[in-house]
A and B are shown apart, each in its own frame.
Chain A
Amino acid sequence: MKDLLTVKLKFSEYHTIFPKIMLTILIFLAVLMLLLNIVKRIREGTLTAFRFQFFVDNYDKLKFYGTFVLLIAYAFVLELIGFLPASILFMFLISLLFIGNVKKKSIVVSLANSLATSLVIWYLFGQLFDITLP
């Protein structure tokens, strides 16, 4: 009993003790949840009925993948071309994407929003408060 309740401590292995304990509990919980789920499914007779759908019905493919691509592109070009040009470009494109059309009004709104926000952030944080911007 004494051995069971004692953890071997070695200075060089301090860092692995707690992660190991956590991983053990996680695996235990995962197995437990799986078993409970199987038991429940057998009881309800739906053992083989799988219905998992990742996206909602009729999801907006353009906006979803567009957001994804634009965010990654933004992070990539941030340090390459600097905060101001990258942010103006990114905000303009993503606003247009969110509005969802390229009418004259949407372009004006997006442009105004991207210019105003980027410049205000750049001036207020970058210049006035001296925050490190990309």
Chain B
Amino acid sequence: MDIFEILSPLSILLCFLGVFMGIIFGTIPGMTATMAIALFLPITYTLDMVDAIALLIGLYVGGISGGLVPAILLNIPGTPSSLCTTFDGYPMTQKGEGEKALKVGITASIIGGFFSLTVLYFFAPVLASVAIKFSSVEKFLIIVFALTVIASISKGSLLGGIFSGLIGVYLSLIGMFADNNQLRLIPPGFEEELTYGFSLLPVLIGLFAIAQIFQESEEGMKASPHQTFDFKKEKKNPFTFKIFNGQIINTIRSSMIGTFIGMLPGVGGSAASISSYSQAKNFSKHPEKLGTGEPEGLIASESANNGLIGGALIPLLSLGIPGDSTTAVLVGALLLQGIQVGPLFIPTNPDLWDGIIYALIIANIVMFFLMFFSIKYMAKIIYIPKYIIYPIIIVMCVVGSYAINNGVMFDVWTLLLFGLAGYVFMKIGIQVAPFLIGFILGQQLEKYFIDSLKGSGGDLTIFFTKGPIAWMLWVLIAVSLVYAIMDNRKSKRSGDQSITPST
């Protein structure tokens, strides 16, 4: 079918606008793609169905992609799924390779986007039928697999990293357990505020943004070394597409992981980039360099990040199950248009299905060119003096936290509490990234654990006897862990030698 029969000039324009606004939302720490879509929902009431979906898809792609800008330049993930982008992106900025890092990230993003788009288009019905067969046992093991990344990103102490991650899991359990509506772990007096636990967004930006501001204020707000770097100096080692030459397998593997994890209902976005980053580290020829500013890690995180967009749309469009919070808002948008998503969606709405595919193609291309050629101007953010940018970030974080659940003051307190906690964590040696990963995945870990036990009547052996898919996942978990332990030993040994040559 011809693209212009489906998409009018207006829908293309709306898609463009969506990407532009999405990038802005993604770039500002504390504002997410989910929020962008939720905010533009009222506008879509008045639009035609295809126009509306074009705008929303644009926002989705732009919002997910924009997250790499603050992750790379400021070490603050703009969206939860760009968490792993900070691991290598920010060190590159510190080395004066900010622009190169951004361009690598953007290129990885569009590759991931197109990969998942192709998968969505050709394999949607087939792949969805595999994922839907996953019982809670397999889902539990998938989460455990995602958690193994904690072991591979632990800095220095492996045990300390795992400990930090499990503290995150523990804190994520605060609140009501959905199965029997019982409250647990809530400090007395906070029953009302913590019924649903701490909101993820304030925790996330508190740990990263506010904690960093505390740390900088302790050091007296001096100008960072990267602020004195000049982008023009990068002529020596500029961005070329050749960086991707040795990274083809990495890019495809990460896009695949992103797409596949995006497809699993309920596993969600951040797990995608976390898993692919850990796999990139495991398969890397020089794993010890990841985390110090290697394009490799950046490619892994960003291609998975955008890969999950197409992936998350697969269960949504073929089964009506939203894979993450963003697609959950999309279900709402489609329902407002009077469309029921489910197994019959594609056969009964062929025009809309094509419209979604075309909108995704256009959104990805627009995202790429918009970001690739304006990145120099966007990257100017880092030259703004700290005494100007930090107050702005604080107010944006407060607004974002307050608005995420439609005006809850407790979310602002959560932001400040975890800001302070993040600062204290850094001081006492609890690692923030493992903590956060535990916090993000904790509730799902519990849900699928309990669901699995319900199915087996409390028998723990169910996790080993479930079947071939579960065994395969166990193998993946074991391989991932062994790699992490060996990597940790290796880096420890080389680290020891440099400090105390006698041992």
Cα–Cα, bound, A36→B157 (Å):
11
Contact of A98 among B391, B396, B403, B412 (CB under 8 A): B391
Q: Is the CB of A67 within 8 A of B213?
A: yes
B460 and A133 contacting across the interface, CB-CB below 8 Å: no
A66 contacts which chain B residues (CB < 8 A)? 217
Known: A6-B459, A131-B403. A78 touches B163 (CB 8 A): no
Q: A14-B182, A23-B170, A55-B218 are in contact. Are A9 and B457 (CB under 8 A)?
A: yes
Within the complex, which residue of A7, A16, A68, A99 is in contact with B458, where a contact is CB–CB below 8 Å? Answer: A7
Mask, A8-40, CB within 8 Å of B = 1, is: 110110111111001101100110110010000
| In the complex, residue of chain B having the shortest beta-carbon distance to the beta carbon of A94 | B391
Q: Does B72 contact A (CB under 8 A)?
A: no
A-side contacts of B409, CB under 8 Å: 75, 78-79, 134
Interface size class of A (residues with CB under 8 A): 35 or more
The interface bits of chain B over 454-467 (1 if a CB of A lies within 8 angstroms of the residue's CB, else 0) are: 10011111000000
One digit per residue, 1 when the CB lies within 8 angstroms of any chain A CB and 0 when it does not, for chain B 172-211 equals 0100110110111100000000000000000000000010
> Measured between alpha carbons, how far is A29 from B412 in the docked complex, in Å?
32
Once the chains bind, are A14 and B218 in contact (CB under 8 Å)?
no
Q: Give Cα A91–Cα B210 distance, bound, in whole angstroms.
A: 15
| Nearest CB on A from B495, distance (A) | 15
Closest beta carbon of chain A to B390's beta carbon, Å? 6
What are 8 A-B residue pairs whose CB atoms fall within 8 Å in the complex? A9-B457, A33-B159, A63-B217, A63-B218, A90-B391, A98-B221, A117-B391, A125-B399
Do B170 and A22 touch (CB < 8 A)?
yes
Q: Which residue of B lies closest to A98 (CB)?
A: B387
Q: Which of B213-237 touch A at CB < 8 Å?
A: 213-214, 217-221
Asked if B162 is at the interface of the complex by the 8 Å CB criterion, the answer is: yes
Interface of B is mostly: helix
- 7 A-B pairs closest in CB distance: A15-B177, A98-B387, A132-B407, A60-B220, A15-B182, A18-B446, A63-B217
State A39–B353 Cα separation when bound (angstroms).
63
Q: Is the CB of A98 within 8 A of B459?
A: no
Q: Which residues of chain B in 416-461 are interfacial with respect to chain A, using CB atoms and an 8 Å cutoff?
A: 416, 419-420, 427, 445-446, 449-450, 453-454, 457-461
A100 vs B162: C-alpha distance when bound (angstroms) = 40
Residues of A within 8 A of B162 (CB): 29
Residues of B within 8 A of A7 (CB): 453, 458, 460
Contact of A78 among B170, B386, B398 (CB under 8 A): B398
Q: Are B159 and A36 in contact (CB under 8 A)?
A: yes
Knowing A22-B169, A91-B391, A133-B402, the reply to whether A64 touches B214 (Cβ < 8 A) is yes
Nearest neighbor of B176 in chain A, beta-carbon distance: A15
Interface centre among B163, B180, B220 (most CB of A within 10 A): B220
Q: How far is the CB of B245 from chain A (nearest CB, A)?
A: 42
Question: Is A60 a contact partner of B42 (Cβ separation < 8 A)?
Answer: no
Chain B, interface size category, equals 35 or more
Would you give the 0/1 interface string for A61-102, flagging 1 where the beta carbon is closer than 8 Å to chain B? 001101110011011001100010001001100110011100
- Whether B218 pairs with A56 at a CB distance below 8 angstroms is yes
Q: Kindly identify, within residues 459 to 501 of chain B, every residue whose CB is under 8 Å from any CB belonging to chain A.
A: 459-461
A54 proximal to B (CB < 8 A): yes
Q: A5-B460, A75-B416 are in contact. Are A60 and B217 (CB under 8 A)?
A: yes
Chain A interfacial positions (CB closer than 8 Å to B): 5-9, 11-12, 14-19, 22-23, 25-26, 29-30, 32-33, 36, 54-56, 59-60, 63-64, 66-68, 71-72, 74-75, 78-79, 83, 87, 90-91, 94-95, 98-100, 109-110, 113-114, 117-118, 121, 125, 129-134
Residue of A nearest to B443 (CB): A18
Q: Is B392 an interface residue (CB 8 A)?
A: yes
Known: A60-B220, A79-B409, A100-B221. A19 touches B213 (CB 8 A): no
How far apart are B442's CB and chain A's nearest CB, in angstroms?
Answer: 8
B413 an interface residue at 8 Å Cβ cutoff? yes
A5 to B218, CA, bound (A): 50
Closest A residue, CB atoms, query B405: A132
A33-B163, A60-B220, A117-B391 are known contacts; what are 11 more A-B pairs with Cβ within 8 Å? Answer: A9-B453, A12-B180, A15-B179, A15-B180, A26-B167, A60-B217, A71-B210, A90-B395, A94-B390, A94-B394, A121-B399
Interface check B388, CB cutoff 8 A: yes
CB contacts (< 8 Å) of A71 on chain B: these are: 210, 394, 416, 419
Q: Which of A59, A72, A117, A125 contacts B218 (CB 8 A)?
A: A59
Closest to A70 in B: B394
For A109, list chain B residues within 8 Å (CB): 387-388
